[in-house]
Amino acid sequence: MSISFQIKHKSKKSKARTGKLITPHGEIDTPAFMPVGTQGSVKTVTPQMLNEIGAQIILCNAYHIYIRPGSDLVKEAGGIHKFIRWDKPILTDSGGFQVYSLADIRKITDEGVEFKSHKDGAKIFFTPEKVVQMQLDIGADIIMPLDECAHYQAPRKVVEDAVIRTTKWEKTAQQYFTDQKAKKQTGHSSLFGIVQGGTHADLRKRSCEEIAALDFPGFGIGGLSVGEPHEEMQAMLEVVADHLPEEKPRHLMGVGYAKDIIESVKRGVDLFDCVIPTRLARHGSFLTMDRFEGLRKAQYEKDFSVLDPKCDCYACRGGFTKAYIRHLLMAREILGYTLLSIHNLRFLMRLMADLRKKIKEGQI
Amino acid sequence: MSISFQIKHKSKKSKARTGKLITPHGEIDTPAFMPVGTQGSVKTVTPQMLNEIGAQIILCNAYHIYIRPGSDLVKEAGGIHKFIRWDKPILTDSGGFQVYSLADIRKITDEGVEFKSHKDGAKIFFTPEKVVQMQLDIGADIIMPLDECAHYQAPRKVVEDAVIRTTKWEKTAQQYFTDQKAKKQTGHSSLFGIVQGGTHADLRKRSCEEIAALDFPGFGIGGLSVGEPHEEMQAMLEVVADHLPEEKPRHLMGVGYAKDIIESVKRGVDLFDCVIPTRLARHGSFLTMDRFEGLRKAQYEKDFSVLDPKCDCYACRGGFTKAYIRHLLMAREILGYTLLSIHNLRFLMRLMADLRKKIKEGQI
């Protein structure tokens, strides 16, 4: 079974839409936010908590899982869903971005990228074929091809070369995936495409057109949320919305602040993922519509109110006060990170539900 | 309301007994194990998980809570139950032991102990009265008096002096508690006594007789599990069983391995607490009847079985395999510590339930 996408409501005020993404492990109401479990665990929360939070899909990182515990081990365990005890949909990011941000890159050619593992320095060569195969071994519902993500403010030529190479790699990836599918070796995985192009409108357009021509069932929007101003990101999303097929789902990778999500939904984005709900939690902060707020501040020492009285998460519903969570943070008690992670993830689930409602009711 | 204790079954084969300890926040089936939440959180688990594990009482540490966030803050929050969101019974250890093990002690006199805080070096003077008062502020169901715990292998004279001073301090503590009770200032707290005496049978006997004469509603057994051999500890428990009133509950402080618990139950111990279930979890180990087993070992890399197929904890029932939990440990994912903590705590809850059943059925 492959994935399918149904658009339910289209806004008349913007490019926003609601939809349903149907995967072998369940359905996702879009626009949706995916909690990130980089190494096969959404940090500090259990799968049971993720279910209670309302997560319908999570994202894992194929590069990290390939490095440890190994995609072969996950395959031997019966696949990622069984291994990590999450029976709902999973998307694996290819890890192309991590290769650029974490690893010591030695060489990029049209054949692939040679780099040293961030874990132990071992030399690794990733090809478009290998990146598909390791994700087939891992066995997520949605998998991503190897792409090249140019740094923000990289010279135009570098961004252009990355666009060209990304298209070339994705053609190779799609061919490999199609061959494996013919041999019934793709399990329940579907391969998305990824568009690049930095913040250059013409390169974005070109990448969209080239990748759209490859007929993937959905698309990741890469190379954004890498340091560019909010307005530049939104300008690029306008371009993407105009040049990717309307009927297919679009995943804006690495975006998690409320303001960015709301504006991106208005530009037709269906899927989001980001580490910030759990990362900010470990830094002692909780998400707000504004951005986030640090709970270690002295003003919260005797604040016996919950993080958000309107929130229905375990932390707020359970009556855990700011003063108590702050104490846990000051005492480095892990429960503090868990409660903040639950709250931050639920904050985004509630935001997405609210956006879906507003689109349906014609408010945005 | 004070606590009360009802003995339900007495073994004919040993001094073991089952009972019910009734407190203002609920009943505890004894023999019972208390998970330890030193700083107001049982490390890496939520109150909801503790309920699922079957915990009927937890132990917090008054010294740690006094240091941070402060017993006054907990009082302002409405007491420890409300602050930490645990509405079942709580026992606070006085922290006498922590003063000796963690703090930089400056002076011990009959009036109290002067020491520097392990947190910031601030000078603190604990008197028997102050230690009762700070626990009344915290508001646990069972509170403990200041005692003096001699190091294992301390000269006999040092142990004897500690016994003498402990009795003196506990008289003062009981008088203070009685005065506060007359003023209706003790809330739902009851004050236990603590016996000392190291591994000297005559000093143990003396301490038991002196403390038993003070008519506390229950007794902590201190100064054991501090390095002495298993047999010496058990020999001391024989003495204690013979010299503490049979009808009152006995709490062996700091004991958590299965073998020690089983033998201690046979010698009439009703309550246990220990940090090992959660501490071993953070060290990557799970409890066994033997002692414990490290899960980081290479042999578990591809072990796709659960920790214990007979266990009904969230980790085992949920199908989290040794291979997955090991991966979480290797990747330093907190979920690994949480799953092992849940399993280790549930292991002890199941052990205690099994012991209660065996006593009832006349097997031990």
Distance, in Å, from the CA atom of A330 to the CA atom of A242, rounded to the nearest integer, reads 48
Of B274, B295, B324, the position where a domain reaches its end is: B274
**Which is the catalytic residue, given A141, A260, A270, A273?**
A273
Across A118-213, the runs of DSSP E, i.e. the strands, are 123-126, 142-143, 190-191, 193-195
CB count within 10 Å of CB A235 equals: 15
Split at pLDDT 50, 70, 90, the class of A111 is very high
Contacts 24+ apart (CB under 8 A), A206-209: A206/A163, A207/A163, A207/A166, A207/A167, A208/A239, A208/A240, A208/A243, A208/A244, A209/A243
pLDDT for res A153: 86
Based on the fold, state whether residues B207 and B294 are members of the same structural domain: no
Contacts of B46 in chain A (CB under 8 A): 314, 335, 338-339
Distance, in Å, from the CA atom of A289 to the CA atom of A210, rounded to the nearest integer, reads 36
Based on the fold, state whether residues A131 and A241 are members of the same structural domain: yes
Nearest chain B alpha carbon to A342: B46
| Domain with B353 in it | 276-364
Measured in angstroms, the CA of A251 and the nearest CA of chain B are apart by 26
Judge if ipTM > 0.85.
Answer: yes
CB contact under 8 A, A335 and B41: yes
Q: Which of B275, B211, B216, B273 is nearest to B243 (CA)?
A: B211
Domain of A17: which CATH number?
Answer: 3.20.20.105
Of A230, A248, A274, the position where a domain reaches its end is: A274
Based on the fold, state whether residues A300 and A168 are members of the same structural domain: no
Based on the fold, state whether residues A239 and A99 are members of the same structural domain: yes
pLDDT along chain B (364 residues), means of 10: 93 97 98 98 98 98 96 98 98 85 81 88 93 98 95 92 97 98 97 97 98 97 92 96 97 97 98 98 98 98 98 98 98 98 98 98 96
CB contact under 8 A, B45 and A335: yes
Based on the fold, state whether residues B238 and B318 are members of the same structural domain: no
pLDDT for res A334: 98
Based on the fold, state whether residues A92 and A164 are members of the same structural domain: yes
Based on the fold, state whether residues B286 and B184 are members of the same structural domain: no
CA distances from A89 to A45, A217, B170, B309 (A): 17, 16, 60, 27
Based on the fold, state whether residues A161 and A268 are members of the same structural domain: yes
Based on the fold, state whether residues A220 and A348 are members of the same structural domain: no
Split at pLDDT 50, 70, 90, the class of A118 is confident
pLDDT for res A201: 97
Based on the fold, state whether residues B227 and B329 are members of the same structural domain: no
Predicted model pTM: 0.97
**Which is the catalytic residue, given B137, B141, B147, B273?**
B273
Of B274, B302, B324, the position where a domain reaches its end is: B274
Based on the fold, state whether residues B239 and B329 are members of the same structural domain: no
The question of whether B290 is a catalytic residue gets the answer no
DSSP secondary-structure letter at B321? B
Which residue out of B51, B333, B343 would a mutagenesis test of the A interface target, given it has the greatest number of A Cβ atoms within 10 Å?
Answer: B333
Split at pLDDT 50, 70, 90, the class of A100 is confident
Number of structural domains in chain A? 2
Based on the fold, state whether residues A291 and A251 are members of the same structural domain: no
Reported as a single tens digit per residue, the pLDDT across A244-269 is 999 999 999 999 999 999 999 999 99
Distance, in Å, from the CA atom of A299 to the CA atom of A202, rounded to the nearest integer, reads 49
